[in-house]
Amino acid sequence: MSQVKNYAGCVRCSMKLQSPHLADCLTCTPISDWETPAIIDQTQAIIRGLMHDMERAQALFEWVRDAIPHSWDIGTDVVTCAAIQVLQQRTGLCYAKSHLLAAMLRSTGIPAGFCYQVFRRSPPYHGLALHGLNGLYLPSVARWVRVDARGNTGTIDAQFSLTAEQLAFPIDLQQGEFLYETIYTDPVPEVVAVLQGFTSLHALWPSLPVPFAEDSGAISAQSEARAMGYAGPGQKE
């Protein structure tokens, strides 16, 4: 993965697409079940009056970030996975919140996929674990953008930005942390298995999803965009 600096927030790492077809990032799936009426209704309420894809994407991102609290932050024992579960329970871990955001974006015609970051756990836990976020495509600027709707706290300040990624967590390369380049069309099985395998967050927490082998067949988002006549991520208009 190409990196200019060792922290998230002021560099845009290269991106790859699991699929070259934008339609694959618009599908309704059991996890990002955007055709569910409740998801459609909530999405429409959030974007009412907003006509530009960038405005809609930012509004949906900020709503999921701020209105759906991270489950660990609020001390709930609830575990959610599918987008409708996150909406109904009004909570989720970072992965689950990314499922809801993708569903909402897809319901408005904005292609959205799933991205993952590897971080080192703090004591008393050990080893590396996954953090979940999203990649979305803005047709108006022909650009893929990564966003992190985990939920802000006193030390976390993730924002929607086209110029510099401002994600939730810094990346410490010396600790083995990194950001996967691939934007996945569906949540990776390793994440879904954990979320669906536990009914208690406190039981799940010691067993967060761990790093996986990245898709070797992914296509550079920038080169693919150029081939299709798009500007690509990270280029100034």
Structural domains of the chain in order of their starting residue, each with its CATH number: 16-227 (3.10.620.30)
The 10s digit of each residue's pLDDT in 62-83 is: 999 999 999 999 999 999 999 9
Q: Which pTM was predicted? A: 0.88
**Side chain identity at residue 21, one-letter code:** H
Mean pLDDT value of segment 155-177: 94
Mean pLDDT value of segment 3-19: 56
| CB within 8 Å of 209: residues ≥ 6 apart | 95, 129, 130, 188, 190, 191, 193, 194
The 10s digit of each residue's pLDDT in 24-45 is: 999 999 999 999 999 999 999 9
The phi-psi region of residue 4 (left if phi > 0; otherwise alpha if psi is between -120 and 50; otherwise beta) is: alpha
